[in-house]
Amino acid sequence: MKKNILIIAVLFSLQLRAQVTKATLQASGLTCAMCSKAVYKALAAVPFVDNVQANIQLSSYDLSFKPGSVVDFDALSKAVVNAGFSVSMLKVNARFNDVKVGKDAQIRMNDQTFHFINVTDQVLNGEKTVTLVDKNFVTLKEYKKYDKLTSLKCYESGLMDGQRVYHVTM
C-alpha cells in the first residue's frame, strides 16, 4: 500500500513539473553561422534542455525539455548572454487546467510565479503559448511598452516579496 502511494505521489509530481512543454527563443546580435552555433551549443548545455533545433534564418531556437525537469527561464537567458548575445523573444508552451488569468493576475506553476500583463479575463485549458516580457527576454522597446500596461512594481525588479516573478502575455 505504501508503495502505491509513493508511486502515485511521484507520478503526480512529475505531471506538475511537465506543465512547461517547449519553448521558442529568438536571439539578437547574430551575424553569421558561427554566432548561431555558439548560441546553439550554449542552449544545448543547459541541464534541463533535451533538444535544440536551430533556425538560422530567423535566429531562433526551438527547445524541448527533459521530462520531469523544472525549466529555469533565467538560465536560458544567461546561456545566450554568456555566448555573447541577447534574447529578443521567448515564447513558452505550457499545459493549463482551468487556470483563471486576466490583467495583472498572478498564478503559481511548478514553484514559479507568472504575472499576466495585458491579458483579457479568461480560463486557460490545454496547451497555450505565453510570451515572457521581462527585461532579459524582450527588446528594450518591448519592455517599455509592457511597463506602461501594469501598475505592479514587480515588473521593474522581477521580484515580489523576494521571489522571482516572470511576466508574461498572450
Q: What is the mean pLDDT of residues 128-154?
A: 95
Contact 16, 94 (CB under 8 A): no
- Given the DSSP bridges, would you call strands 20-28 and 60-65 parallel, antiparallel or unpaired? antiparallel
The full 3-state SS of 75-101, as one line of letters, equals HHHHHHHHCCCEEEEEEEEEEEEEEEE
Query: Exposure pattern of 67-81 as b/e (b: 16+ CB <10 Å)?
Result: eebebebeebbebbe
Structure-block grid coordinates of residue 102: 486576466
Instruction: Report which residue type is found at 98.
Output: D
Q: In this model, does residue 8 exceed pLDDT 60?
A: no
φ/ψ (deg, to 5) at 96: -120, 150
pLDDT per residue over 34-68, tens digit each? Answer: 999 999 999 999 999 999 999 989 999 999 999 88
Q: Residue 26 half-sphere exposure, CB side, CA atoms within 13 Å?
A: 11
Return the H-helix or E-strand segment holding 146.
helix 140-147
The predicted pLDDT at position 111 comes to 83
Q: In the predicted model, is pLDDT for residue 14 greater than 70?
A: no
Q: What is the pLDDT of residue 17?
A: 33
If you average pLDDT over residues 63-92, what whole number do you get?
Answer: 96
Task: Give the model confidence (pLDDT) of 17-35 as tens digits.
Answer: 337 889 999 999 999 999 9
| pLDDT tier at 116, thresholds 50, 70, 90 | very high
- Pairwise CA distance, residues 156 & 139, whole Å: 14
Can you tell me the distance from the alpha carbon of 64 to that of 69, in angstroms, rounded to the nearest whole number? Answer: 11
Query: What is the structure's pLDDT at 9?
Result: 36
Mean pLDDT of 127-132: 97
* Ordered domains of the chain (ranges, CATH): 18-169 (3.30.70.100)
pTM of the predicted model, to two decimals? 0.86
Burial 34-52 (b: 16+ CB within 10 A, else e): ebbebbbebbeebebbeeb
| H, E, C per residue of 7-51 | HHHHHHHHHHHCCEEEEEEEEECCCCHHHHHHHHHHHHCCCCEEE
Q: What are the grid coordinates assigned to 84, written together?
A: 555573447
